[in-house]
Amino acid sequence: MLIRMARKSDPKPSEITSRDDYLNRRKFLASSGLVAGSMALGSGLASTPAQAAVERPGVGEALTPLVDGYSKLGDSDPITPYDAVTSYNNFYEFGTGKEDPAENSGPFNPRPWEITVDGLCANPGTIGLEDFLKPHDLEERIYRLRCVEAWSMVVPWVGISLGDVVKRFEPLGSAKYVQFETIVRPEEMNGQRSRRILPWPYVEGLRLDEAMNPLAILAVGLYGEVLPNQNGAPIRLMVPWKYGFKSIKSIVKISFVEGQPKNTWQVMASSEYGFYANVNPKVDHPRWSQARERRIGDFLRRETLMFNGYEEEVGEMYADMNLRRSY
Ligand code: MTE
């Protein structure tokens, strides 16, 4: 992965949405019926034609009902504008440029969608997305996202608790890790037509206790609407204390396994990317410093926080580890 400098297309600080503005707008939309669609939680995916006129990929498919989930933000963590969240992406299945996923993911069709859960668990199976989501609350979680390339954003995700999903499939005592795989569909994903970009499918993994941490979610939306294709439709991982590459997109397979999975970036360059990939300002990437980051929309760089600011929530899981080597 490469570092990119500020671009003209980055939003100006004045265009950034404050958390309060965003939440007030969401409440307004809900009270005017624009977000709170009439569909039962059954699918969790509602359609609101009133919004269809607005040019946003997720519009017309508001997620409802939403409950407020855990979000911990600092004073200087305004929410990154929708346009930036959906036009500055990493999703190599659609190309390696930041604008490529938004430009090339139009032909990708994330419905219908099935997820296979297999490996060391009592309830394996292949399940349609609606049934997969049905037992779970859709929560809004506003998280910082810190890419290993030293840029960051603040994104209002909509998702379900990964820990609850894990419990539902009843991992056996021998299951120590959870492995995730992205769909392979070269006919719709132009980047997958070349194996020189990455070995497909994109694979990621978490230790079982990391997957059970209350911060970990499977996201199905952002800004109250279904996930746009470029952000990993229809379902992606979001583990905000780890570098962004851990948060695998467009998941079709979840496997409970005994051995530590080999994640894609580790396979590509094991001297640069590891399995844990916890955000750590004291451990530099071999080719650049991780001490600071560029928040999309900011002019000046800011200091990177240990575990991306979530040390209180996740630090205990790594008490025994030498974090200087946990890259
Ligand atoms: N998942 C897949 N399948 N393919 C990818 O290329 N890129 C990762 C991660 N998940 C990637 C992926 C990286 S490097 C980052 S920083 C985040 O997605 C970016 O998520 P965003 O585009 O929604 O901001």
Write out pLDDT tens, residues 67-107.
Answer: 999 998 988 999 999 999 999 999 999 999 999 999 999 99
In this prediction, residue 50 has a pLDDT band, given cuts at 50, 70 and 90, of: very low
Q: What is the pLDDT of residue 320?
A: 81
Q: Which atom of ligand 1 is nearest to the CA of 101?
A: 22
Q: Tell how far CA 81 is from the center of its chain.
A: 16
Ligand 1 shell residues, CB under 6 Å: 1, 89-93, 145, 147, 182, 202, 231-232, 244-245, 247-250
Domains of the chain and any CATH numbers = 13-319 (3.90.420.10)
Burial (CB < 10 A; 0-12, 13-18, 19+), residue 325, is exposed
In sequence order, what DSSP letters do the residues of 194-245 get, joined into one string?
Answer: -TTT-PSSPEEEEEHHHHHSTT-EEEEEETTEEPPGGGTTT-EEE-TTB-GG
Gap from CA of 42 to ligand 1 centroid (Å):
28
Q: Which atom of ligand 1 is nearest to the CA of 222?
A: 23
Q: pLDDT above 70 covers what percent of the chain?
A: 80
Gap from CA of 232 to ligand 1 centroid (Å):
8
pLDDT tens column, 225-280: 999 999 999 999 999 999 999 999 999 999 999 999 999 999 999 999 999 999 99
pLDDT tens column, 126-175: 999 999 999 999 999 999 999 999 999 999 999 999 999 999 999 999 99
Atom 16, ligand 1: residue with shortest CA distance: 244
Q: Which of 152, 241, 247 to mutate to test the pocket of ligand 1 (most atoms within 8 A of CB)?
A: 247
Look-up of token digits 């958390």: 19
Model confidence, pTM = 0.87
Angle at 309 between CA 308 and CA 311, to 5 degrees: 100
pLDDT at 324 over 60: no
d(CA 273, CA 95): 20
Q: Which atom of ligand 1 is nearest to the CA of 250?
A: 3
In this prediction, residue 64 has a pLDDT band, given cuts at 50, 70 and 90, of: confident
Mean pLDDT within 120-125: 98
Gap from CA of 273 to ligand 1 centroid (Å):
14
Q: Tell how far CA 154 is from the center of its chain.
A: 11
Atom 19, ligand 1: residue with shortest CA distance: 90
Q: What is the pLDDT of residue 18?
A: 61
Average pLDDT, the chain: 86
Gap from CA of 38 to ligand 1 centroid (Å):
32
List the one residue out of 314, 159, 294, 153 whose CA is nearest residue 233: 159
